Structure 1
Amino acid sequence: MKTFSFLLPALLLTTSACKKEQTELEKLPDATQTGTGSAGFLLDGVAWLPEASNLSTGSPSSASWQRTVAGRSLRVSSSRYIDRTTLQIFLPHIKQGGVFQLNQSANPPSGFSNPSYSMFIMSKSLTVPRIFLTGPTATGTVTVTRFDTVARVVSGTFELTVQEETSPETHRLTDGRFDLTF
């Protein structure tokens, strides 16, 4: 009996000491397709998850499917209040899921006349925000795995390189995923 009373605490101590720390990839939400409201990606290898401010009542991730002159366009957006960063993915004329190449020049102020593109915005301070875009020299791929206009669910994955508008600085957004309602 004395041996058992010694082994039990030792066993409990050993199992509690073996708690494995999550990898950056394991910190991301699962790539689901049910409209869970989740999103995330690795920003240069570090997990980036959307986060609302303490004062916000809305979700930090959203999707909208809007009617435009040329058809319907999808915009997926995720923001993180803590470091004031935002990712936007714009897919014009989307009618169904599929693979979308983000490899053309875009001019976000021109609105819905743009090709498919992604924009990553960093506005940590009160200075002018830094804008990073996909384009001919910083390409990306978005795979829409579910585009359900009845259930109003859009899900997908992405891999992007974005380049700052005013410098050669780039960032890699890998293992990206989103599962949102619109």
Structure 2
Amino acid sequence: MKFTPFNLTKAMLLRPFAYSALLSLLALAACKDDDIPAPGLPEATQTGQNTGGAKVDGTVWLPIQQFLLAGKPLEARYAKSSTGNELNLYFGRFPIEQDDPFNETSINLHVPDIRTAGTVLFNQPADPRLTTSNPAYATFTYGKPSPDQVLITGPTATGKLVVTRLDTIARVVAGTYEFRAQALSGTGSVNVTEGRFDLKY
């Protein structure tokens, strides 16, 4: 190949790019999975960013939905019901990776009547299979192996929800939560800490 001034200039311009690309590829190849920082919890904001997360037995747990035609990974519902102004918060974790230790798990928070920001205690007996007459409660559910294993708050497994913003004009609900839940049947338990959410409803 004959180098004309144009070709020579072009080759000189491309060489740094080639070196840069080669160095990037080498750096990526040298990276190990454990060099990639683990995802952290989102900030505890109050602006309707549709974020949430918690720690489950000390491990960061983030809602995710990676399956087509499936529901939202996090959702807030606030509406009038037979018990008052009912608030329901849902967070689901359904990643594609089947070896995820929290695959097919979910967190639910239920408050039968709340009208302003404040603290709600999870310390009363409840049964999520009942559609009415339940006090405030929280659950952590393992969806597999089937059937679902539901762990719930109660007098011996307590917790709390702190609603820091309940804005019926902007339709934003935000806050923090923590709870311990026990299996409806059996002896299993789970500790959920540092929970936070900032959702539009």
TM-score, with length taken from structure 2: 0.75
Q: CA deviation at 1:59?
A: 3.0
Determine helix, strand or coil for the equivalent of 2:169.
coil
State whether structure 2 residue 184 is matched by structure 1 residue 165.
Answer: yes
Match of 2:118 among 75, 89, 98: 98
Aligned-residue CA RMSD in angstroms?
1.9
Aligned-pair identity in percent equals 37
Q: CA deviation at 1:54?
A: 3.0
Q: Which runs of 5+ in 1 are unaligned?
A: 1-12
Provide Cα deviations, 1:57-93, integer angstroms capped at 9, x if missing partner.
6531000012112311000000011311111000111
Cα 1:130–1:22 change in 2 (3 A) is: same
Determine the structure 2 residue equivalent to 1:129.
Answer: 148
Q: Which runs of 5+ in 2 are unaligned?
A: 1-26, 96-102
TM-score, with length taken from structure 1: 0.83
Q: How does 1:1-182 map to 2 (within 5 A)?
A: 22=37, 27-56=40-69, 59-82=72-95, 83-125=103-145, 127-182=146-201
> AA paired with 1:109?
R
Q: CA deviation at 1:22?
A: 4.8
Q: Distance in 1 between matches of 2:83 and 2:148?
A: 30
Determine helix, strand or coil for the equivalent of 2:130.
helix
User: Which structure: larger Rg?
Assistant: 2
Aligned length: 162
Q: Distance in 1 between matches of 2:49 and 2:142?
A: 26
Q: CA deviation at 1:56?
A: 3.9
Q: Distance in 2 between matches of 1:66 and 1:150?
A: 13
Cα contact 1:68–1:112 (8 A) shared by 2: no
